[in-house]
Structure 1
Amino acid sequence: MIEIRTLEQQEVAESLALSQFAFQYELSEEDQEERSSWTNPKEIWGYFVQGKLAAKLQINQFHTWLNGQHFAMGGIAGVATWPEYRRNGMVAKLLVQALKVMKEQGQTVSFLSPFKFEFYRKYGWETYIDYLKYEIPADKLPKFQASEGSSIVRVTKEWELLNPIYEQYAVQFNGMLKRDANWWNNRLFRNKKGTVALYVNPQGERTGYVFYQVKEFTATIHEMVFLDEETRRGLWKFIADHDSMISKVEVKAPIDDQLPFLVHDPKFKQEKITYFSSRIVDVEAFVTQYRFEPRKEVEPIYLRISDLHADWNDGIFQLQFTDNGEKAQVTKLAEGEQPADEHVLSCSIQTLTALFMSYQKASFMALIERLQGSQELVARLEAAIPQRTTYLADFF
């Protein structure tokens, strides 16, 4: 007998055992009990064969920032199958079920960290983030000066203190998590050791922080958040002042970060990392909430979307713009209502996701033949989509 359903509380231990085997880590008995206590079994979908858990995935209830607004997001995690059940299409069935569940829950977009990008592309997820990873020797750390009247204050790990600064920073990007107390305390502070230092500008405003750990002569920056250039320089001066006790600093940064240009010697290790994938779960609901670029040209745009695993997304959608082009009324057209092909742009759900996340531009997608339509229509779509850097500081 085959069954796809959410787990019961008594099955969480079996799910944890599968995760530990698949992802090659071990939890102590105490850690397992603690993890079980805050794991919601109704977020975990299992594929059962003869009553035994064969494969599973988790749908986390998240929100993400996109063009300055937060969207309900289904974070897919913990995708795993016992070896004896692999290559039987179980994960594929779980992913299709997850799409239906996320749509019902109002999660219009989904993120996941792929073990293999090409695998999840088959089910509609597409790359949406690259980030930079720096390894900076101590003698090449920035030689910035702090602003007169500013200060660095060491603080305890209080999420209420840091979250207002984090949110002002996160809203600038597409793809950051909207964090809550549980995320700060159980995922960030619990899993990462170290010190939190707060930057206070000359006006007495808290405009940034750094969460870092010094161990074995390496300063690992878990997170550096700054709201302006003055704060960035002040935080980096603080880190550079650790030079007598460290040999290098390791830190990740958004793909458009300009630190190498600002330092006296930019010849240090800089690695580009391709990170998470994204997928639009519900085209109509997602695009209705989406905030477009204000513009004078507000003629309707017609999008023909192909989606093999979510039939509600498969078809032609009319985008009728309002509010100076910033919002769109979205209608899925019936067969008799469809416009002539020369008025339509066509693409897959993967391509649409890369475009609306601002990871790729319409002109590039047309160049590589992943977006079909006239140059005029491609230009209109590109003008409508705001360009923001994609970034995700977290992992799940």
Structure 2
Amino acid sequence: MRILHKQQHLPPLDGPRLEPHPFRAAGMPPDKSNGAPLVPVNRREHGLEARRTDMAADQRGEGAAVNTEHKDGDRQPPHGAHDAFDFRQLGKEDFEQFEALLRYAFQVSSSEMARIGWSDREMKLSKKPIFEASHVMGWFYKGRLASQVVIYPMEVNVQGEICKMGGITGVATYPEYTGRGLIHSLLAKSLEYMRDQQQIISYLCPYSIPLYRKHGWEIVSDKMTFAIKDTQLPARHPVEGQIERVDIESEDLHKVYKYFALQEHGALIRGALEWEEYWRWDSDDVMAAVYYSVDRKPLGYVIYYIENEVFSIKEMVYLNQEAKYGIWNYISAHFSMITKVEGANYTGEAMAFQLEDSEIDETIQPYGMARIVDVQRFMEFYPFQFSDPRLTLDFEVKDPIAPWNNGIFHVSWQDGEAVCEQVATCHSGHRIALDIQTLTTMLMGYKRPTYLYNNDRIDMDYHLLKTLEALIPPDKPYFSDYF
């Protein structure tokens, strides 16, 4: 019985739709030769043994967060090291301690708050709605909060289907309590909680990629930054619609993102609190402009500010090419005011190819991380690109801190739906061995099966790559939020 509802059960949208991407076509079914190798049979098969040995060594000395999560020192404690600590969920009476630990750990200074126009009291009040909406767990030492983790209930688009997601944030420990494995235990407990809540995937914005990799999270999205000289701006394209500057709380801006997120893989579904977090660290100078079609449908937006002759783009979203052209026309109209355009791009694809003058500066850095919380549920939820009742696969998964994900998951297809069951031994003849990090980044589309195989992240027969490539949709995740 399906536990999570797919998008087709949601009310139909009555707004504009994204135009189909020219290269996003459904994958072809597996080769009829049913396993004929695509390369000479003497090709070296890849294995995970060296990687597993390294992981085992890491786990024996598991790191956890200190202060802003990027220090090494919170080692897995010996037996009885937690005896002086009490674990519990934080209540409203603990908010002052919660906010104080956040301020200390993430070094939110008064000067930084002044830059964005916040008072100390306003900062406290801004965090209260998130605190009240989230599940916050912590370790207390003699009644004082020592370490904490926040699980924020959210929803995300996974390959066109909307699912529950647990957002991990506010992970922090006072430095005097490091070396006791507090963060390690909190992350393990957070996975248990998310599993109980049927939050089958978890996102976070990492301060330390190595720390979270050790606990099963993996990179799933990139943030690309670009710089375009005023002389490199794209040529004007005539459009029928009109762009208008709007308030950042504009309902039309929210509508554009809603339609975009419901159709864009990886995107966070933003409610009122998510929008509040989205604007959290922006100054009062940030502006927004919405592109409207000739019949006044909002089709795109750009969020930006102008400073020192630089047009800085926080986010650009469009639902079709008309809106894209209209937004760039608007940016180019600032030609006399600016010397360059800088911005962020979260699509996973570089911008240079789209410009007539492609010699622009672009950088790429990993941005969002994710991990599958419950492999069995996620496999049954996941929208594979085709179903074949003759096909069966055995995923042998390793998970460092979620024991229910350790084992062999037998996947088959019945009546067009994936069926996943945990079994004792592989019996399909199609074994795919990988860790939870690799399974996550592969199914989320950040890295393709062939790339992962060629980099020793998957252990399997080479001929299965063609099947996996066809099963997994090609879209890369879009994730532009921070929490």
Structure-1 residue corresponding to 2:420 = 330
How far apart are residue 116 of structure 1 and its match?
1.8
Give runs of aligned pairs for residues 306-321 of structure 1, distance below 5 A: 306-321=398-413
State the AA in 2 paired with 1:16.
E
Q: Deviations over 1:294-353 (max 9, x none)?
A: 2557511111111121111111111111344xx3011112x3xx2348432111111110
Once the two structures are superposed, residues 176-202 of structure 1 have per-residue CA deviations (whole angstroms, 9 ceiling, x without a partner) of 100112222x22345434222111223
Shift of 1:35: 2.6
Write out aligned runs for 1:56-205 (5 A): 56-147=148-239, 149-184=240-275, 186-189=276-279, 191-192=281-282, 193=284, 194-205=286-297
Alpha-carbon offset, residue 87 of structure 1: 2.8
Distance 1:298 1:226, change over 3 A: farther
For 1:299, which of 373, 379, 391 is the aligned residue?
Answer: 391
The one-letter amino acid paired with 2:210 is E
Partner of 1:355: 442
- Decide whether aligned partners of structure 1 residues 216 and 63 sit closer, same or farther in structure 2, where only a CA change above 3 A counts: same
Q: Which deviates the most, 216-225 or 299-308?
A: 216-225
For 1:308, give the aligned amino acid: P
How far did residue 291 of structure 1 move? Answer: 0.5
Letter of the structure 1 residue corresponding to residue 420 of structure 2: V
Say yes or no: does 1:346 pair with 2:433. Answer: yes
The farther-off stretch of 253-262 and 300-309 is: 253-262
Residue pair 2:372, 2:378 contacting (<8 A) in 1 also: yes
TM-superposed deviation, 1:129: 0.9
| Counterpart in the other structure of 2:102 | 19
Structure 2 distance, partners of 1:348, 1:188, is: 32
Shift of 1:255: 4.7
CA contact (8 A) 2:221 2:348 kept: no
Aligned partner of 1:385 in structure 2 is 472
Q: Determine the C-alpha separation between the residues in 2 that align with 1:172 and 1:109.
A: 18
Q: Does the 8 Å CA contact 2:348/2:478 hold for their aligned counterparts?
A: no
Q: Is the 8 A contact 1:301 1:381 kept in 2?
A: no
CA distance in 2, matches of 1:246, 1:40: 41
CA contact (8 A) 1:108 1:286 kept: yes
SS in structure 2 opposite 1:77?
A: strand
**Structure 1 residue 43: deviation in Å?**
1.9
Alignment TM-score, normalising by the size of structure 1: 0.92
CA distance change for structure 1 residues 329 and 154 in 2, over 3 Å: closer, same or farther?
A: same
Q: Comparing 291-300 with 278-287, which one deviates more in the overlay?
A: 291-300
Specify every segment of 5 or more residues in structure 2 that has no aligned partner in the other structure, as ranges: 1-83, 114-118
**1:273 maps to what in 2?**
365
For 2:54, the equivalent position in structure 1 comes to none
Give yes or no for contact 2:434–2:458 (8 Å, CA) kept in 1. yes
| Aligned equivalents of 2:128, 2:106: Cα separation in 1 | 21
Kept in 2, the 8 Å contact 1:304–1:344? The answer is yes
Q: Is the deviation greater in 349-358 or in 15-24?
A: 15-24
Contact 2:387 2:418 in 1 (8 A): no
Checking the alignment, whether the CA contact within 8 Å between 1:47 and 1:53 is kept in structure 2 is: yes
Is residue 320 of structure 2 the alignment partner of residue 228 of structure 1?
A: yes
In 2: Cα distance, 1:323 partner to 1:265 partner: 50
The letter of the residue matching 1:52 is R
Q: Please give the secondary structure, in 1, of the residue aligned with 2:264.
A: coil
User: Could you tell me how far apart the structure 1 residues matched to 2:437 and 2:462 are?
Assistant: 20
Instruction: Figure out how many residues of one structure are paired with residues of the other and give that number.
Output: 389
Aligned residue for 1:309, secondary structure, equals coil
Q: Give the deviation of 1:203 after TM superposition.
A: 4.5
Write the letter of the residue equivalent to 1:68.
G
Shift of 1:268: 2.3
CA 1:256/1:116 → structure 2, altered by over 3 Å: closer, same or farther?
A: closer
Q: TM-score, normalised by structure 2?
A: 0.76
* Structure 1: runs of 5+ lacking an equivalent: none
Give the CA deviation at 1:159: 4.9
- Relative distance call for 1:95 and 1:37 in structure 2 (3 A) is closer
| Cα distance, 1:190–1:52 mapped onto 2, change above 3 Å | closer
RMSD: 2.0
Cα offset, 1:94, TM superposition = 0.6
Q: What amino acid maps onto 1:328 in structure 2?
A: A
C-alpha distance in 2 between matches for 1:127 and 1:29: 34
Sequence identity, in percent?
A: 31
Once the two structures are superposed, residues 271-307 of structure 1 have per-residue CA deviations (whole angstroms, 9 ceiling, x without a partner) of 1111111100001111111101025575111111111
Q: Which has the higher strand share?
A: 1
**Distance across 1 between alignment mates of 2:127 and 2:442:** 38
Question: Residue 116 of structure 2 corresponds to which residue in structure 1?
Answer: none
**1:219-262 deviation per Cα after TM superposition (whole angstroms, max 9, x unaligned):** 22222111122211110110111122222222111354453223
* 2:331 equivalent to 1:244: no
Query: Is 1:376 paired with 2:463?
Result: yes
